């Protein structure tokens, strides 16, 4: 067993999951200049960008763009920050992050806790103007909780206007289960106008074509997955991120008491793997070979990563696998993916 796993099992699991995350992330940010790990290069072209490798960090870990360079030092080829909302918000009451070790899974109901688009934009601007690592940075945007659904488009437009100038690509998140009504925006009759508005705003503030993607839930029915795929092609989106967390609790190995203790929220990690793989397969068959598909959900090792690539993913993202695998996990997976 690795030293990190010993630490995780015997120390970190004794701490509240959010406290452990905060302490671990603070320690990582304290030494951003250290070349902690070096992942081998396997350049991949996607969305007009050159990614040094296939594996990136999913949104949710670095919500406020505070540790991009430290995370890149671990071997991630790209880092997606957020989810960022138009207005700052504290998120849901704690405790709101839980581990299910028997399933290599995490349950979160964080509720898009973040500093807001204006502060995050300032932080991204300051990073770019100073010394920083050459890593691709995506920005994931979502709806502010207190904003009514009737004003959701304007809220996304606000975030886009502030953040697009500092992003290498932008992801519209309509798939978190922790903001009431958010998943309703995945319906294509509502999603289409939202994505068109974000595209217009991004183009106007950047003066260029900024790659735009949408992130969808694994809980969509197959026909709705295909409807999003058709919409992405119709609107000329640059990609789809598949998938977010699930509200399902089927087939878990964890005890009923542990699952009940974790409560509601989005489940990530190994239990999402099978459905996330199905969604990528469905999407690739529908959209053809060119649209960028970012495979995320239940990637725990290089075998999972290769399986997702074989199913049609262009790029990969991870979160929970990183939590359970530790700081050496990104570079180890990247190394095993190189032919």
d(CA 20, CA 13) in angstroms, rounded, equals 8
- The mean pLDDT value of the chain amounts to 90
Cα–Cα–Cα angle for 262, 138, 111, nearest 5°? Answer: 25
- At 267-325, the pLDDT tens digits run 999 999 999 999 999 999 999 999 999 999 999 999 999 999 999 999 999 999 999 99
Q: pTM above the 0.75 mark? A: yes
pLDDT at residue 250 greater than cutoff 60:
yes
- Of residues 104, 176, 268, 331, which has the active-site annotation? 176
Strands 97-100 vs 105-108: parallel, antiparallel or unpaired:
antiparallel
User: Six-digit token pair at 159?
Assistant: 């975030």
Q: Is the peptide bond prior to 83 cis by the omega test (within 30 degrees of 0)?
A: yes
- Residues 262, 107 contacting (CB under 8 angstroms): yes
pLDDT at residue 180 greater than cutoff 80:
no
Average pLDDT of the residues in 93-105: 95
pLDDT at residue 105 greater than cutoff 70:
yes
Q: Residue 273 sits in a domain of what CATH number?
A: 3.20.20.70
d(CA 230, CA 244) in angstroms, rounded, equals 19
The residue segments making up the domain with residue 7 are: 3-337
pLDDT at residue 266 greater than cutoff 90:
yes
Whether 104 is a known active-site residue: answer no
Looking at the structure of the chain, the number of domains it has is: 1
Element (H, E) at 292: strand 292-296
- At 187-240, the pLDDT tens digits run 888 899 999 999 999 999 999 999 999 999 999 999 999 999 999 999 999 999
What stretches of 183-250 show up as alpha helix (H) in DSSP? Answer: 188-206, 222-235
């Amino acid at each position: 067993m690795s030293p990190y796993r010993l630490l995780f099992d015997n120390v970190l699991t004794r701490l509240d999951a959010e406290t452990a995350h905060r302490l671990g992330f603070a320690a990582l940010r304290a030494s951003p200049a250290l070349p902690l790990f070096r992942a081998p290069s396997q350049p991949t072209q996607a969305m007009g960008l050159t990614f040094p490798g296939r594996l990136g960090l999913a949104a949710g870990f670095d919500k406020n763009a505070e540790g991009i360079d430290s995370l890149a030092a671990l071997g991630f080829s790209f880092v997606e920050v957020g989810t960022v909302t138009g207005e700052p918000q504290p998120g849901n009451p704690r405790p709101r992050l839980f581990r299910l070790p028997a399933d290599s899974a995490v349950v979160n109901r964080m509720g898009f806790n973040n500093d807001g688009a204006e502060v995050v934009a300032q932080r991204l601007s300051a990073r770019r103007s100073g010394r920083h690592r050459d890593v691709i940075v995506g920005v994931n945007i979502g709806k502010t909780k207190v904003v009514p659904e009737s004003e959701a488009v304007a809220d996304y437009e606000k975030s886009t206007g502030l953040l697009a100038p500092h992003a290498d690509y932008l992801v519209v998140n309509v798939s978190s289960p922790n903001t009431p009504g958010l998943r309703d925006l995945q319906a294509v009759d509502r999603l289409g106008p939202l994505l068109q508005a974000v595209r217009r705003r991004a183009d106007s503030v950047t003066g260029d074509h900024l790659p735009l993607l949408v992130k969808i839930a694994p809980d969509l029915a197959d026909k709705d997955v295909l409807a999003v795929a058709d919409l992405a092609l119709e609107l000329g989106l640059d990609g789809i991120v598949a998938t977010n967390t699930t509200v399902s609790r089927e087939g878990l190995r964890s005890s009923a008491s542990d699952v009940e203790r974790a409560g509601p929220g989005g489940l990530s990690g190994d239990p999402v793997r099978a459905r996330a793989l199905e969604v990528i397969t469905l999407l690739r068959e529908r959209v053809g070979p060119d649209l960028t598909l970012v495979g995320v959900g239940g990637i725990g090792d290089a075998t999972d990563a290769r399986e997702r690539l074989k199913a049609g993913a262009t790029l990969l993202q991870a979160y929970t696998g990183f939590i359970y695998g530790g700081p050496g996990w990104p570079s180890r997976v990247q190394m095993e993916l190189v032919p």
